[in-house]
A and B are shown apart, each in its own frame.
Chain A
Amino acid sequence: MQANRLTISEIQAGLKGKTLTCESLARQYLDAIQKHNPDINAFLSIDPDQVILDAKASDQRLNSGGAMRELEGVFAGIKDNIHVHGMTTTCASKILKGFSPVYEATVVKRLREAGAIIMGKLNCDEFAMGSSNENSAYGPVKNPLNRNLVPGGSSGGSAAAVAAGFCTVALGSDTGGSIRQPASFCSVVGLKPTYGTVSRRGLVAFASSFDQIGPLALCVEDAMLVHQVISGKDNQDATSLTHTPKWTPLKKDTGSLADLVVGVPEEFMGEGIDKEVSEAMDQTIQNLKKMGARVVSVSLKLVNRCLPVYYILSSAEASSNLARYDSVRYGPRLHEGGNLDDLYLKNRSLGFGAEVKRRIILGTYVLSEGYYDAFYLKAQKMRTLIRQDFDHAFTQCDVLLTPTSPFPPFSLGAKTEDPMAMYLADICTVPVSIAGLPAISIPVPRTTNQLPVGIQLITPALKEDQLFTYAQAMEVMLKGNHL
């Protein structure tokens, strides 16, 4: 097997057994990037010399008897809305072209402290708004599994980089599905943690009450290892929770899922769900039953209200969070001259792409006097009801199972003219984000002619340990029961 397809435990076994060095691993990733990134366009910035230097330092550390740290030998790509020291953060937007952060994100610091090596910055939809990675000012990302297809979004670069063997793991950010949906489109694992478990300091805000950073990886265990490192209280993020999860060690050979009750929301079966996705779901459910799990039908009655609620609340927050990009203090001055209003108007008009503008206008509208109560306030009330909807569902089951996306990856350009069709891509992921719950997308193995499909597992808040346990059991199960 190619070294650039190794999981974390495989890498660390190689390092321990001296069959692998960090430097050789780095070179394999860099080779793959050099060969394929010009077409796939996952990395926006990378510093190969620094990667090699960091890899050599890790090797030296291990050779001189240093202990193997949690993420030793792990090469991490970082979505370009998360600050990395010494690299630009563009959020795939013209308005932040060349912007160098003066501080590093907490998650990146934690990765480094755990021994991970930062590979570079990954393409995404502009300010993380989109579901196909076609909203990047620096060009779309192609799906490595089939380069005519989109990789999903907004963390399309993160999913593509892991799928293409450009790095071991990647960090993405998920506001309404931006980790899980591209993970499913690129057949990798993607985790959206419970809101508040991972620090947002250094993540450029899109919708503050939804945004969470999470890992994209080749397997559940890798996602878990990265999540363990990046999660935990950060005093510089007032919304970060003090909760320290107790991690259950995963059992590799889970042969049985007896006693597990899996709830399948009826709203995610049938109409609106693509045939291929339905088939993969059915197959998963059959397997679960074989393994002894009890599969029950549950209802999330408010699912059909989730998209409007999400687009009202997230756009409201986005219109506020993105107000600071005025080209006064940072970012390129795309227009000079005129009065202050001209400066704002012209720079923001030139700097932001169409989707970002659409959301700013929507968000500004719903917060305006006379509309606030009808939109924002009502959506906030709905948010509470949607949370209760999930609470109720969890009285009937341990974990919820849904498709990650209602359809498999589509062709580049297929939905760019139809924002509403694009928004439907997040129909299965958005409810979870509204409720702030943890969810993971794992790939359903497919034959080569089939399109990638992912399934989403959801647990109550802060039950990531259970989520990992169930997800890994299913991962093992699915791999052993190829369609």
Chain B
Amino acid sequence: MSQEEFETVIGLEVHVQLNTKTKIFCNCSTDYSNKPANTHVCEVCMGLPGVLPVLNQNVLQYAMKACMALECDITKETKFDRKHYFYPDLPKAYQISQFDKPIGERGRIRIELEDGSERLIGVTRIHMEEDAGKSLHAENGETLVDYNRACVPLLEIVSEPDMRTPEEARAYLEKLKLIMRYIGVSDCDMENGSLRCDVNVSVRPVGTEKFGTKVEIKNMNSFRSVVRALEYEKKRQVRQIKRDQRILQQTMLWDDVKGETRVMRTKENADDYRYFPEPDLPPVHITQDMIQEVSQLLPELPDKKVDRIIKTYQIPAYNARLMAEDRELSDYFEEAVRSHNNPVSISNWILSELLRELNKDLLPIRDCKIKASHLGKLVYLIDSGVISGKIAKDVFEEMYKEGSEPESIVKSRGLTQISDDSQIQEIILAVLTNNSQSVHDMQAGKMKAFGFLVGQIMKETRGKANPGKVNEILKSLLREKYQIECP
């Protein structure tokens, strides 16, 4: 059997760092990145003797938002549990996590694939927990620990083993990130560690139901490396099976430089975390009122937004999805459309001109100088024939740099389109007189000269002549005066 005769079965365990202002069980700031080690700590997150955790209510609210956005059932009586293991970066030698009553269960994420098809990926559970500190292994063999990250709130989001290709895994991660950013609970930046992802992967012959032995892979630092690790692991596992070798239940580490996985530990001596209910935190009762309150804080989610934009504005699905990848960008689009009802053209302007400039300057849409209504106005000026599309690009450039209003740019720079027939005819006649060679060429059948003449006319009018009219009048003049028939 070849590689193609196998499919991968993939499940993801994602840790999302919540961007609450303070930590999950104390009042320390979570803004620890690039801060000196052990400056964002207190007795609680350091796990000193005699301290007690107190749940940050915002973490609960963020977790509920995430559950709702991923369509999970919210557990009415959720609780915390202690997960035990010894490691110097875990101050209490247990992590406060959730074991058998996670805040959310049975959710799902819709993913879109390259070929335009859609799939639903199940979300097994979402639970709240605290992050650990960071161990730094110095070159002299010493290990130093920074506890700034200890007690930073995390959501662990576990998927069903529903993905069948590395690309689906990527689509799942992209979508998860998009949703978390929409609801404002996390940046989900894998490079910065605000999203971490472990994968479970097995292979099986296409068409079979039974799962193969799964392998867990850790240590990927980008979506790209998740895809690479999965591709590598699929090949490795298929090779093993073809050699009639058993797949061992192992935890592997991805080496991004070498582009391979290597064994971290074999699962035969599985960890025993000795979970038991956290006696320092009473169970949390989630009432209908709390759910109601949080649901009112939820923005329109990406899937709904895309569906609505396509339906309301009749624009291509591709455009709608692309804009919805940034909640603020799609809001910008809708605002622009409110000032001028040409959604297709406005979405094209946003996705081509505007995004190109913003990406070049690494600016988010909220820092863009062009007001949404001004972009709408610009498209209006084109549609009403005041300026040509070409002139519009110049106007856009100035709007982008200065933030000024398009009509005033057009006025002050005298860019109003020349649409008056007699005025255009006069200019064309002058151009024909001055370019008699081109007219001769056309008489000789070299029709390319037509383009040259149009160019000269536009040059003469500094681009302001209405291009449709120029075409039309030039053709009729050539026919009348020189008997040249243009196609």
Contact = CB atoms under 8 A, between A and B. Distances in A.
Interface of A: 81-83, 89, 91, 96, 99, 101-103, 105, 200-205, 207-209, 235-239, 316-317, 319-320, 323-326, 328-330, 340, 344, 364, 367-369, 372, 376
Which of A200, A367, A376 has the most CB atoms of chain B within a 10 A radius of its CB? A367
A208 B88 contact: no
Contact of A364 (B46, B48, B274, B279): B274
Given A99-B49, A202-B50, A238-B53, A367 B276 contact: yes
A235 B48 contact: no
B50 A89 contact: yes
A340 B50 contact: no
Contact of A103 (B43, B92, B272, B274): B43
B94 interface: yes
Nearest to B277: A380
Contact of B93 (A89, A203, A239, A326): A326
B280 A323 contact: no
Interface of B: 43, 46-55, 82, 84, 86, 88, 91-94, 145, 272, 274-276, 279-282
B43 A329 contact: no
Contact of A367 (B53, B54, B274): B274
A122 B429 CA distance: 110
B50 A317 contact: no
A329 B280 contact: no
Which of B48, B54, B282 has the most CB atoms of chain A within a 10 A radius of its CB? B48
A369 B48 contact: no
Contacts of B93: 323-324, 326
A209 B277 CA distance: 10
Contacts of A329: 46, 91
A317 B279 contact: yes
Given A102-B43, A236-B54, A320 B276 contact: yes
Contacts of A239: 52, 279-282
A466 to B, nearest CB: 26
A239 B55 CA distance: 11
Given A238-B54, A326-B86, A326-B93, A102 B48 contact: yes
Given A323-B84, A323-B86, A326-B93, A316 B276 contact: yes
Nearest to B51: A201
Given A323-B84, A344-B86, A364-B274, A238 B282 contact: yes
A340 B48 CA distance: 20
B100 to A, nearest CB: 11
Contacts of A328: 88, 145
Contacts, number: 92
Contact of A324 (B54, B91, B272): B91
A323 B94 contact: yes
24 contacts: A81-B50, A83-B49, A89-B49, A101-B48, A103-B43, A105-B50, A201-B51, A203-B50, A207-B279, A209-B279, A238-B52, A238-B282, A316-B276, A317-B276, A320-B82, A323-B92, A324-B92, A326-B86, A328-B145, A329-B91, A367-B275, A367-B276, A368-B272, A368-B274
A376 B84 CA distance: 16
B173 to A, nearest CB: 31
A101 B52 contact: no
Contacts of A326: 86, 88, 93
A208 B82 CA distance: 12
A14 to B, nearest CB: 35
B47 A324 contact: yes
B276 A238 contact: no
A161 B93 CA distance: 35
B54 A208 contact: no
Contacts of A105: 50
Contacts of B272: 368-369
A220 to B, nearest CB: 29
Given A208-B280, A330-B48, A320 B55 contact: no
A109 B190 CA distance: 44
Given A102-B43, A329-B46, 9 more contacts: A91-B49, A101-B50, A102-B48, A201-B52, A207-B279, A239-B282, A320-B274, A340-B88, A364-B274
